[in-house]
């Protein structure tokens, strides 16, 4: 069974803290994504990676960075958490298959609260 695993389902952090969200996939996918999900706004793309050590900014990269040192792992980093980063964070992965099938495989999400 395909699996995208996010390390923490629920986190509570304080303003200014550095936060790491980890995501691991076991499907040998080339592409990995970080989205945030907010009510009324749907999913917005933060960062995207199509290969190890490669990354591209999405629509809302400000305040975030990412790391992809291994193919199966994609980390989202909040250098200095702020209250407006309280959200549900979703990791996803997909094949780079040249047909743009669009099927993303999602983790269960990490709900971050910044106090």
Partner 1 sequence: GNSVTQMEGPVTLSEEAFLTINCTYTATGYPSLFWYVQYPGEGLQLLLKATKADDKGSNKGFEATYRKETTSFHLEKGSVQVSDSAVYFCALSRTITGDYKLSFGAGTTVTVRA
Q: Which residues are at the interface with partner 1 (CB under 8 A)?
A: 4, 31, 33, 35, 37, 40-45, 48, 50, 58, 90, 92, 94, 96, 98, 100-109
User: Does residue 114 contact residue 86 with C-beta atoms inside 8 Å?
Assistant: yes
Least distance in angstroms from the C-beta of 90 to partner 1: 7
- Sign of CA pseudo-dihedral 79, 38, 21, 113: positive
CB of 56 to partner 1, least distance (A): 9
State the distance between the two ends of the chain, measured CA to CA, in whole angstroms: 37
Tell me whether residue 29 is exposed, middle or buried, using C-beta atoms within 10 angstroms of its C-beta: 0 to 12, 13 to 18, 19 or more. buried
Q: Of 25 and 75, which has the nearer Cβ to partner 1?
A: 25
CB of 61 to partner 1, least distance (A): 13
Question: 91: which 2 tokens?
Answer: 């990791």
- Closer to partner 1 at the Cβ: 5 or 15? 5
Measured from the CB atom, the residue of 33 and 74 that comes closer to partner 1 is 33
């Amino acid at each position: 069974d395909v699996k995208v695993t996010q390390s923490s389902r629920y986190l509570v952090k304080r303003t200014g803290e550095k936060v790491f969200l980890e995501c691991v996939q076991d499907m040998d996918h080339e592409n990995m994504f970080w989205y945030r999900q907010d009510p009324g706004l749907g999913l917005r793309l933060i960062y995207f990676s199509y290969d190890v050590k490669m990354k591209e900014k999405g629509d809302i990269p400000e305040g975030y960075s990412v790391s992809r040192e291994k193919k199966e792992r994609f980390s989202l980093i909040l250098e200095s958490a702020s209250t407006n980063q309280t959200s549900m964070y979703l990791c996803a992965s997909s094949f780079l298959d040249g047909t743009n099938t669009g099927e993303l495989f999602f983790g269960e999400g990490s709900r971050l609260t910044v106090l």
